[in-house]
Every structure is written in structure tokens, then in C-alpha cells.
């Protein structure tokens, strides 16, 4: 993927274009058309992702007392259909779609965060979001989002320390007991971010969960900032 300048950006109420790629909302679902060059080896990445919400979130959440950072679980449960020509892959399954936005860079507001999501029987979605603000204060919430999109705030489950990533990023999740979660696969392992598949137990159910760890302290370090253009080239 690439980071691009203002002249490569265009949007209206239903369409967002970033260079040759775009996202389009048609009222029933989100179509993501990708036409990019991979890094570090510059090979083509072309394809389409269709995200069809099965549940639409009804709330947004402030992550800090001043409200500088807002998180929205826009579609806590969705149907996802993927069809790529480069590389030649296709699959369908269930997914999740959220958004963060705010009035300052993430690294100015947070030191780190941990997030996880699991789909429960009956159509509910469990979401855990926690971390440390740049001020040093902790934040966190455990949510059970129903099929109507309403989010019930629940007691935070037990903390479970997971093995560190290959880049030595700390991973923490929540489960019904301290021994109820384990790493199934590490999908993404970078100097400041990881995405992990877990086997866990949440709200009394055995689940497959998706988990992410983000270190903004690591992200803002000069050496990582120097490395980023090699992994994510800048283009005007």
C-alpha cells in the first residue's frame, strides 16, 4: 500500500478515492476496489472486497476524557466477499468493520492499545478495547453488541498475557479465565503492530477471536519512522 498526497484524494458522501483505489457505499454494502503496488517487492495488488453489514452499530465511543479520539464499531458483524486477480485468491466469510477518528495523531493520544473481537452464537459480537493514554492513564471497555446494533457495556473479563511477537510487542487479551486464551496464528507481525488469531472463551462461549496489539511508543520512534517509507512508499 501507499501513502498519497492531497491531490490523490477525492470523496463525497458515498465514495472515497485514494489514488487508483476506492471505497464506495451503495446503501447496502461497502465495495472496496484495490489497485496498488506491493512493497518491498513492487508487484501488483488488484482486487475487490465486498463488505455487507449484518449488524449496524448504534453508538460511538470516546477513548479519552477530552473526546479527541472517537471509535465507532460501524458494522460489528458483516459478510465479507474477497475476489483478487493479483494475487489470484478468493474467499468469503464473516468480518467486522470499525473506524477511529480524532483531532490529533494517534501517537499523540496513546502509548498503546489492545483490541479483540469475536462473534458469538445468536449473532452477538464481543469486543474488548483497552490500553494506555499518552497521559499515563488506562482506558478500557468490554462490549457485547447485539443484532440490533446496541452495545451493552459489560464487566471486563480476566486479563491474559499472550506470548510476545517476533518484534517483541506485548500482547494482552481478555477471556473468561486466565487460561482460556491461546494464540492460533500470528497473521501480521511488524515493529509496532500485530494481528493475531486466538482460540478463546468469552461470555461463556468457546470462540475464535481476532486480536490486535498496537505500540504507539514504538511507532513514533525515529528508527521506525525511518523504516516506514520502505514498507509503505509515499507518492504525491
Question: pLDDT tens digits, residue range 54-80?
Answer: 999 999 999 999 999 999 999 999 999
Query: What is the residue whose three cell numbers read 500482547?
Result: 171
Please state the length of the chain: 236
Does residue 165 form part of some domain?
yes
Does residue 4 form part of some domain?
no
Pairwise CA distance, residues 213 & 190, whole Å: 10
CA dihedral sign of residues 75, 109, 152, 126: positive
Number of domains in the chain: 1
Q: Give me the pLDDT at residue 2, please.
A: 63
Going by pLDDT thresholds of 50, 70 and 90, the confidence category of residue 7 is confident
Distances (CA, A) of 204 to 103, 179, 198, 201, 207: 38, 14, 16, 6, 9
- The one-character DSSP state at 163 is P
Share of the chain above pLDDT 70, in %: 97
Q: Is 136 exposed, middle or buried (0-12, 13-18, 19+ CB in 10 A)?
A: exposed
Does residue 236 form part of some domain?
no
Q: Give me the pLDDT at residue 73, please.
A: 96
Distances (CA, A) of 36 to 20, 42, 167, 188: 7, 9, 27, 19
Q: Give me the pLDDT at residue 4, please.
A: 83
The whole-number average pLDDT for the span 205-221 is 96
Does residue 5 form part of some domain?
no
What's the pTM value of the predicted model, to 2 decimals? 0.89
Q: Give me the pLDDT at residue 236, please.
A: 52
CB 102 within 8 A of CB 70: yes
Does residue 6 form part of some domain?
no
What is the residue range of 42's domain?
17-231
Does residue 9 form part of some domain?
no
Average pLDDT, the chain: 93
Residue 1 has pLDDT above 70, yes or no: no
Does residue 214 form part of some domain?
yes
Amino acid at each position: 500500500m501507499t501513502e498519497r498526497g492531497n491531490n490523490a484524494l477525492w470523496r463525497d458522501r458515498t465514495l472515497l478515492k485514494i489514488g487508483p483505489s476506492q471505497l464506495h457505499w451503495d446503501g447496502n454494502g461497502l465495495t472496496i476496489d484495490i489497485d496498488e503496488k506491493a512493497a518491498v517487492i513492487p508487484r501488483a495488488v488488484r482486487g475487490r472486497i465486498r463488505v455487507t453489514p449484518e449488524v449496524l452499530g448504534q453508538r460511538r465511543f470516546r477513548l479519552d476524557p477530552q473526546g479527541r479520539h472517537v471509535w465507532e464499531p460501524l458494522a460489528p458483524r458483516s459478510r465479507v466477499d474477497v475476489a483478487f486477480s493479483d494475487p489470484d485468491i478468493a474467499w468469503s466469510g464473516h468480518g467486522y468493520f470499525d473506524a477511529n477518528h480524532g483531532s490529533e495523531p494517534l501517537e499523540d493520544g496513546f502509548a498503546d492499545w489492545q483490541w479483540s473481537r469475536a462473534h458469538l452464537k445468536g449473532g452477538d459480537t464481543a469486543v474488548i478495547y483497552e490500553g494506555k493514554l499518552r497521559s499515563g492513564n488506562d482506558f478500557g471497555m468490554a462490549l457485547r453488541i447485539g443484532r440490533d446494533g446496541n452495545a451493552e457495556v459489560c464487566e471486563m473479563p480476566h486479563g491474559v498475557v499472550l506470548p510476545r511477537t517476533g518484534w517483541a510487542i506485548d500482547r494482552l487479551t481478555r477471556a473468561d479465565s486466565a487460561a482460556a486464551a491461546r494464540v492460533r496464528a500470528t497473521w501480521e507481525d511488524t515493529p509496532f503492530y500485530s494481528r493475531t488469531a486466538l482460540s478463546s472463551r468469552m461470555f461463556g462461549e468457546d470462540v475464535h477471536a481476532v486480536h490486535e496489539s498496537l505500540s504507539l511508543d514504538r511507532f513514533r520512534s525515529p528508527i521506525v519512522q525511518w523504516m516506514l517509507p520502505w514498507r509503505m512508499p509515499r507518492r504525491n
